[in-house]
């Protein structure tokens, strides 16, 4: 899966936190230049149903860094809620929702580089699905690395979703319930993408 750029973010018309700090500030490209890229970007474009489905699919694919094969497997789930739970309970997404990373992309990198522990054991698989009772923490050897500078202070003002429990003192968290549709405000429509794969 290739790395998404700010230009692609503008093309999709939604914040995907390509650059974590900038996306949370007035310097965000979606604040400075909210129109689509190109000389005709400011023109309103009418999309077909297929075009809307494809755009929502790309949002999910780039937000989570998924391949086409992974997308087909996830959207083989029986319902939009089951799909949502699969996406939300991925290890990289839980790391992001706990506030241990500033963006989904950074969370994915932390997992891939072996900085994250699940139930005390290192996991480098971003798609690892977590269940109620699973504990997520930062590898002790990694806590002094640059990625976690100022994390302790940042977590003091952070509130995770209701299905996660955050311990700011240990910079760790637990999954203690199954997520619900109101827990996370995803910048895409799962139902529309389900229609795309149901064709």
Between CA 130 and CA 88 the distance in angstroms is 9
Q: Token pair for residue 150?
A: 């100022």
**CA 82 → CA 16, 85, 88, 135, 159, distances in Å?**
22, 5, 10, 22, 24
Could you identify the residue written with the tokens 């230049």?
Answer: 33
Between CA 64 and CA 84 the distance in angstroms is 12
Q: What is the pLDDT of residues 76-103, one digit of tens each?
A: 988 888 999 999 999 999 999 999 998 8
CATH 3.10.290.10 domain range(s) in the chain:
90-175
CATH 1.10.1050.10 domain range(s) in the chain:
6-39+47-86
Q: Is the pLDDT of residue 49 over 90?
A: no
Provide CATH code, domain 6-39+47-86. Answer: 1.10.1050.10
Query: Please, what CATH class does the domain formed by 90-175 belong to?
Result: alpha beta
Q: Would you say the pTM of this structure is higher than 0.85? A: no
Q: How confident is the model at residue 40 (pLDDT cuts 50, 70, 90)?
A: very low
167 backbone dihedrals φ, ψ, rounded to 5°: -110, 105
Q: What is the pLDDT of residues 135-189, one digit of tens each?
A: 999 999 999 888 898 899 999 989 999 999 999 999 999 998 887 665 667 778 8
Q: Report CA torsion sign: 125, 58, 102, 99.
A: negative
């Amino acid at each position: 899966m290739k790395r998404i750029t700010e230009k692609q973010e503008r093309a999709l018309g939604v914040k995907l936190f390509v650059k974590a700090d900038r996306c949370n500030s007035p310097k965000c490209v979606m604040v400075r230049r909210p129109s689509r890229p190109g000389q005709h970007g400011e023109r309103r474009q009418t999309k077909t149903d297929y075009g809307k489905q494809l755009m929502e699919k790309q949002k999910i694919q780039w937000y989570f860094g998924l391949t086409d094969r992974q997308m087909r497997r996830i959207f083989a789930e029986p319902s939009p809620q089951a799909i949502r739970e699969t996406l939300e309970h991925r290890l990289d997404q839980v790391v992001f929702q706990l506030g241990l990373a500033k963006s989904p992309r950074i969370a994915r990198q932390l997992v891939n580089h072996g900085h994250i522990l699940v139930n005390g054991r290192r996991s480098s698989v971003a798609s690892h699905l977590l269940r109620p009772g699973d504990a997520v923490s930062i590898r002790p050897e990694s806590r002094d690395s640059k990625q976690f500078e100022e994390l302790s202070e940042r977590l003091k003002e952070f509130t995770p979703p209701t299905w996660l429990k955050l311990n700011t003192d240990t910079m760790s968290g637990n999954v203690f319930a199954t997520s619900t549709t109101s827990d996370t405000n995803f910048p895409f429509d799962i139902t529309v993408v389900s229609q795309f794969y149901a064709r």
